[in-house]
Amino acid sequence: MEQSHRKTFLGLDIGTTKICAVVGSFASGNSSGISSGSAGAEQELEILGMGICPSIGLKKGQVVNIEQTVKSIAKTLQEAKLAAGSLGNSAWIGIAGSHIYSFNSSGVVAVKSDEIGQEDIERVLESAQAVVLPSDRKILHAIPREYKIDSVEGIKDPIGMSGRRLEGHVHIVTGSFPQISNMYRCVEKAGINVAGITLQPIASSKAVLSEEEKEMGVVLIDIGGGTTDLIVWKEGSIVHSEVFPIGGNHFTSDLAYALKTSFSEAEKIKIEHGSVIHKNFNQGQIITLEKVKTEKSRPREVTLGFLHKVLYSRAEELFGLIEQTLQSKDLKNLLTAGVVITGGGALMKDMSTFVEYSLMLPTRLATPLYCKGMTENLLEGPQYSTVIGLLLEAYEKEKQLAQEESFLLQKTTHEIDKIVEPVVSKDFFSRVASSVKNMLKEVFS
């Protein structure tokens, strides 16, 4: 397909540590481009350009300084535009943060006609969303989990079925209305419109999970800079999602405090020498710390074992909270496919090994599914799972909107035909009768 005939999409991941913008397009191609169940197994994502800058102005996924956040977003968009040539007018953005709260809800309606239609689906989803929320909260997603018709459970698509009572089970994601508004405002001030907003672990799921894993039962743990996002899938639906206010930056902060050094030096040490598990070798190895600029004393030294102990303690706290959640929600027995970890924090050495022993479940480190293009090698890391998922989300929504418009057009055309056809038919027979009458007058006059 020619480039000029392909629509481009922009994904914008606004995180605590980094802001990443990726421009991509989809073309019919090899099904290996995107795994089954993603944005269409017949589509292949091509990356046209990307931009990435440090995130300034956010804390734990929340905007704390609008001016600095706008500057960071604008700089990222400029880099992406230089690489891709153009950005388009709008972006699909991800959202997370400690203000996110999710829960499951149900709604029930009576079926009006002989079979269940789209109108019934919309009514039952509205019923499930009729919950009392604080005035400062907004529903971000109302995602159908399953439907129940009369006494039959586990129905994924009830349209066309018969029944008298339709029940819908929905996963609802809410966020702080002021924080959502601040995010919109920052993006728009940076010169781009917001096409849509998606919870970050939902986006990451699109990029790294297979349909088989979602069906079997899997928990995705996305370790970001300021928060860790968790989402549980079973039978192809979201069962639970939660945001924990601990991320990769907390590991770094712990090191900086313990070593009495700068955050940047602690980050460097974490990347080069850090591990979240205690090993039986090299624990006495000496690591030399660089001087802080104000120091006049000689460089200090610490053992590798001390570094590992600090990082292990924070990992133990984080995954202790996750274990507690899985146990209290009775979710652990659902996870046949185990655990998938992603996000920049998942790059810490031995993290997948630690998670496997901590949660006692098979664990794998996931990176975004293969996508071709000029920057494909740069996007292979788990820290890009969310932004690739946002591109897939943008494409799916665009395709869904096109299908809905086509359906409405066909429906409207059908309704017009039902009105026009009798009129045309009546007029036709009237003209025929008039012609016959005139002919008979001429013959017998």
Q: What is the pLDDT of residue 195?
A: 93
Structure confidence at residue 42 as a pLDDT band (50, 70, 90): very low
Among candidate residues 121, 137, 209, the one with its CA nearest the CA of residue 170: 121
Domain presence at residue 123: yes
Q: How far apart are CA 90 and CA 23, in angstroms?
A: 11
Confidence at residue 303, expressed as pLDDT on a 0 to 100 scale: 87
Residue 188 placed within a domain: no
Q: Among residues 120, 147, 174, which one ends one of the domains?
A: 174
Cα gap 368→378, rounded to integer Å: 11
Helix (H, G, I), strand (E, B) or coil at 416: helix
CATH of the domain at 133: 3.30.1490.110
CB 177 within 8 A of CB 187: no
Crossing angle of helices 248-259 and 263-273, rounded to 10°: 110
Banded pLDDT at 252 (limits 50, 70, 90): very high
Report pLDDT digits (tens) over 405-432. Answer: 665 666 566 556 555 555 555 565 566 6
Mean per-residue pLDDT of the chain: 85
325 and 232 within one domain: yes
Q: Are residues 253 and 347 in the same domain?
A: yes
What does the alpha-carbon distance between residue 236 and residue 230 come to, in Å, rounded to a whole number? 16
Residues 158 and 228 in one domain: no
- d(Cα 17, Cα 344) in Å, to the nearest integer? 9
In which region does residue 236 sit, left (phi positive, over 0), alpha (psi from -120 to 50) or beta (all else)? left
Could you tell me if residue 14 is inside a domain? Answer: no
Q: What is the mean pLDDT of residues 360-378?
A: 75
Residue with the larger pLDDT of the pair 292 and 218: 218
Same domain, 285 and 152: no
Q: Considering 302, 331, 365, which residue would you say is the last residue of a domain?
A: 365
> 161 and 240: one domain?
no
What integer is the mean pLDDT of 355-378?
79
Q: What is the pLDDT of residues 386-396, one digit of tens each?
A: 999 999 999 88
Judge if 170 and 235 occupy the same domain. Answer: no
Give the CATH number, domain containing residue 339: 3.30.420.40
Residue 67 has a CB neighbour count (10 Å cut-off) of 11
Task: Give the per-residue pLDDT at 397.
Answer: 87
Number of domains in the chain: 2
Same domain, 106 and 243: no
Of 408, 269, 416, 283, whose CA–CA distance to 348 is shortest?
269
Identify whether residues 167 and 292 lie together within a single domain: no
Q: Whole domain around residue 214: which residue ranges?
A: 210-365
What are the pLDDT digits (tens) for 112-165? 888 999 999 999 999 999 999 999 999 999 999 999 999 899 999 999 999 999
Angstrom distances, CA of residue 415 to CA of 412, 420, 421: 5, 9, 10
Is the pLDDT reported for residue 36 higher than 70?
no
For residues 113 and 250, membership in a common domain is answered with no
Q: What are 71-119's pLDDT values in tens digits? A: 999 999 999 999 988 888 899 999 988 899 999 999 999 998 889 999 9
Last-in-domain residue among 152, 174, 196: 174
Q: Residues 219, 166: one domain? A: no
Smallest Cα–Cα separation from 77: which of 122, 139, 12? 12
Tokens matching residue 366: 């996931």
Q: Which residue has the higher pLDDT, 82 or 27?
A: 82
* 304: in domain: yes
In angstroms, the CA 436 to CA 444 distance is 12
**pLDDT (mean) for 33-46:** 51
Lowest mean pLDDT among 35-44, 190-199, 280-289, 358-367: 35-44
One domain, residues 136 and 254: no
State which amino acid sits at residue 79.
Answer: E
Residue 262 lies in a domain: yes
Q: Is 83 within the bounds of a domain? A: no
* CA angle, residues 429, 432, 436, in degrees to nearest 5: 140
Judge whether 301 lies within some domain: yes
- The residues facing 169 across adjacent strands are 106, 146
Complete DSSP assignment for 344-362: GGGGSTTHHHHHHHHHTS-
305 or 40, higher pLDDT: 305
- Reported pTM: 0.84
For residue 52, pLDDT beyond 50: yes
Task: Report the pLDDT value the prediction gives residue 74, as an integer from 0 to 100.
Answer: 95
pLDDT at 281 over 70: no
214 within some domain: yes
Same domain, 159 and 217: no
